[in-house]
Amino acid sequence: MPFLELSLPCTEAQQPRYERALEDVGALAVTLADAHADAPDEQAIFEPGVGEQPLWNELVLTALFEGDTNSTLLLYALSAADEGLDWSRATFREVEDQDWERAWMDQYEPLHFGERTWIVPWDAELPEEAQQQLDAAGNDAARTPAIVRLDPGLAFGSGTHPTTALCLQWLDGLANEGALRDARVLDFGCGSGILALAALKLGAAQAVGVDNDPQALTATHDNAERNGVGPRMAVYLPQDEPVATYPVVVANILAVALIALVDTLAARVAPGGSIALSGILAGQEDEVLAAYAAHFDNLKVERLEDWIRISGVRRA
């Protein structure tokens, strides 16, 4: 089924108003990208959560609508939704379903993190190295590779972004230390569920995924079922999340959200438990460290490209 795509340049300050107007008239999805990005690894932010901000001053905002939407009538509706916005630079094109939901999977290759963690496209063959690890492990669960078969659909989280890679490496390290064995894990901002699924494959007993996007919860649930860990995976919107503490918590969201949620996330980590915080741009780590120092010891910073992961241990 084709879709109608609207693209519009805007500034960071204008973005919330444009996004609200698009959602008010029925946009199926809204994404943001750097207006000046020309690098091949430029990343979009998918449907930022409440309180999260885009990473760039000048943006290209893209929204999808049902394919039979009339673009002229849509512009009238948008103008009526917020009369103070300028829609004259909006452009439209028709896109096929696979253009925005599936085409990227054609370029998605198996990825290896740490010692045992593999993220493999659902329909791809297992890499030779992963198969060798599997054969060598035999019945030894501590050596068995953690193979996550992923079909993230529209939800953010495929392992290709440095923020996700940093978290996967951290989880793999915890597993090698035995800290994941039979543990309960909270993946706050779960997206596709990739981190929770990796934790389960690495030995965790149960995982909980929390996200403010219902689409992400659907993707996480579906991916858990496909990986054979559905009964051990629960997903919630933030307002529905049961109050609980966990020995392992990972939150791969933006720095501004991590700071705003410091009390919430700290309360989720059991005394002596471990936390990993990612989605932090280089240069933002000091503010995040200052916020979490009141609750966590042994705070450590790891960097991959322009992104930062902070990990720590909950103070008793």
Q: Are 162 and 307 contacting, i.e. CB atoms less than 8 angstroms apart?
A: yes
Taking the C-alpha atoms of residue 106 and residue 65, their distance in angstroms, rounded to an integer, is 24
C-alpha distances out from residue 228 to 155, 218, 221, 222, 292, Å: 20, 16, 11, 10, 35
The dihedral of CA 115, 202, 187, 33: what is its sign?
A: positive
- Is there a binding annotation on residue 189? yes
The helix-helix angle for 194-201 and 214-226 (nearest 10°) equals 30
- Is there a binding annotation on residue 191? no
Closest of 194, 149, 203 to residue 167, by C-alpha: 194
Alpha carbon 51 to chain centroid distance? 16
Tell me if residue 50 falls in helix, strand or coil. Answer: coil
Q: Any idea what DSSP says for residue 151? A: -
- Is there a binding annotation on residue 211? yes
Closest of 292, 282, 233, 234 to residue 261, by C-alpha: 292
Closest of 15, 13, 55 to residue 36, by C-alpha: 55
Show Cβ contacts of residue 128 under 8 Å, excluding neighbours closer than 6 positions. Answer: none
Q: In sequence order, what E strands does 42-86 have?
A: 45-46, 58-66
Q: Are 184 and 232 contacting, i.e. CB atoms less than 8 angstroms apart?
A: no
| Phi, psi at 53, each rounded to 5° | -125, 150
Q: Which residues are annotated as a binding site for S-adenosyl-L-methionine?
A: 164, 189, 211, 252
Q: Which residues are annotated as a binding site?
A: 164, 189, 211, 252
